[in-house]
Amino acid sequence: MFVAVWPDGTTRERLSSLDLPVHPDVRVVRPDEWHVTLRFLDEVDGGLVPSLVGALEEAARTVVAPVRCVLGPAAAWFPGGRVLQLPAGGLDGVAAGVRSATLPLVPAGRSGEAPFRGHLTLARAGPAAADRPGRAEVAAVGFTGSFAVDALELVGSRRTADGPRYTALGSARLSGVP
């Protein structure tokens, strides 16, 4: 499971028009999967879903709207070369609120938790693609845009042969957002 915000339709449409170069061993993320993860929860007992949604509602009440997620200006590979991401700014406070609200239910793992680094994943590379030449051209995609954040979403994820499939498990609207 994870907690995320989703780009609005206009932003998804603009992102869909990006000309992402085709590269061996690189899977472009489908538009319905584009999101910014605020907190990765890992494996969570399904019985905690109602409590997690309640925690997100608590976090949402503390957020002062409007909140805008700012994407761009250019895609880049995360260290290790497996995830092509578009930086996402403006969400540090929201992510901190989500972490604080959900931490009593889902403690950080044994090795702790990576600091929040807002991003929208555009593509994932297989291990064989990590060191291949030509990956720089895949990352040479520019994009700037922003979208209003109106809700925090609890999302279930399951792996399939075609990549992850997401299921909405619950939502909490931000205060002051109609």
pLDDT of 87 over the 70 cut: yes
> What's the rounded Cα separation, in Å, for the pair 164 and 134?
26
Q: Which residue has the higher pLDDT, 83 or 104?
A: 104
Query: What would the pLDDT profile of 132-168 be if each residue is shown by its tens digit?
Result: 555 666 666 789 999 999 999 999 999 888 778 899 9
- Average pLDDT on 8-12 reads 95
Query: What would the pLDDT profile of 40-67 be if each residue is shown by its tens digit?
Result: 998 899 999 999 999 999 999 999 889 9
Question: How many Cα atoms are found within 13 Å in the side-chain-facing hemisphere of 8?
Answer: 12
> What's the rounded Cα separation, in Å, for the pair 72 and 119?
9
Q: Span 2-173: which CATH code?
A: 3.90.1140.10
pLDDT of 96 over the 70 cut: yes
- Average pLDDT on 74-93 reads 88
Alpha carbon 174 to chain centroid, angstroms: 17
Q: Where are the domains of the chain?
A: 2-173
